[in-house]
Amino acid sequence: MVKLSKRLRTIHDLVPKCVPADIGSDHGKLMIALFQSGTIEKGYAIENKEGPYERLKNNLTEAGVIDKIIPLFCDGLEDLPQVVDALIIAGMGGTTILGILKKHLSKLSNIQTIIVDAHNSIPLVRKEVCRLGFTIADEKIIKEKNIYYEIIKFIRADCAIIGDEDLEFGPVLRQEKSAVFKEKYRNRLSEINKIIAESDLPKERLLALNQEKSRLKRNL
Ligand SMILES: C[S@@+](CC[C@H](N)C(=O)[O-])C[C@H]1O[C@@H](n2cnc3c(N)ncnc32)[C@H](O)[C@@H]1O
């Protein structure tokens, strides 16, 4: 069995029975684990760079799954097979992820689930993926090697209007208020208090920080 990091394990555990494509598959570990755990019977591992694509093919061959997890060398959703009904896009910046999703919009028509691990611009990702016709079904926040990751599972649904604090903190995460969630935002609160105490800030910056403090306090 392939060993997954906590981040990839969390993504793995959010994947339903489906035919997924992992966009930016790199080493291919996630797709190999999904097949080995019986979560999926087949899927596609997509890469657009030669080095990672070669590594991907080698790893799929070594794991004996190359006939089940099909490697594709292409840009994002460009050559996405019709049979694919779920997308996993992990380990990239939020705007890169949104660029990949929006570049070939027609390819989203069969997609029922999108699992995203964006390393920044997470509120924007929540907003824009919902605008594409999805809603947030689940979310996880984890900490690995001192980095916080938010992993979001979107499912096909009529576009719902999401409030600003749901976009910022995550509708599921701010309800659950897990220990990791509280730690992340308590740290941010301390950071803001320190900035305010130690610097002579312009009025606008001070106002923005105080507003952020209020939002943090409401959600902790
Ligand atoms: C940082 S790695 C993340 C690998 C893996 N998804 C993970 O979360 O561990 C990002 C990978 O996405 C690939 N990538 C970036 N843009 C892509 C695109 N438009 N189409 C396919 N692959 C892409 C890169 O080549 C790289 O291997």
CATH fold of the domain at 6-172? Rossmann fold (3.40.50)
- DSSP string of the chain, one letter each residue: -----HHHHHHHHH--SS-EEEET-TT-HHHHHHHHTTS-S-EEEEE-SHHHHHHHHHHHHHTT-TTTEEEEESSTTTT--TT--EEEEEEE-HHHHHHHHHHTGGGGTT--EEEEEESS-HHHHHHHHHHTTEEEEEEEEEEETTEEEEEEEEEE-SPPP--HHHHHH-TTHHHH--HHHHHHHHHHHHHHHHHHHHS---HHHHHHHHHHHHHHHHH-
Q: How far is the CA of 192 from the centre of ligand 1 (A)?
A: 33
Residue to substitute in 14, 27, 47 for testing ligand 1 pocket (most ligand atoms within 8 angstroms of CB)? 47
Atom nearest to 22 CA in ligand 1: 6
At 158 the pLDDT is 81
Atom nearest to 75 CA in ligand 1: 20
What pTM value is reported for the model?
A: 0.96
At 180 the pLDDT is 98
At 211 the pLDDT is 97
Ligand 1 site, residue 45, Cβ cutoff 6 A: no
Shortest-distance Cα residue to atom 25 of ligand 1: 49
Atom nearest to 100 CA in ligand 1: 19
Atom nearest to 52 CA in ligand 1: 27
Domain residues of the chain, as ranges? 6-172, 182-219
Ligand 1 site, residue 102, Cβ cutoff 6 A: no
Q: How far is the CA of 124 from the centre of ligand 1 (A)?
A: 19
- Written as tens digits, the pLDDT of the chain (220 aa) is 899 999 999 999 999 999 999 999 999 999 999 999 999 999 999 999 999 999 999 999 999 999 999 999 999 999 999 999 999 999 999 999 999 999 999 999 999 999 999 999 999 999 999 999 999 999 999 999 999 999 999 999 986 678 999 999 999 999 999 999 999 999 999 999 999 999 899 999 999 999 999 999 999 9
Q: How far is the CA of 101 from the centre of ligand 1 (A)?
A: 13
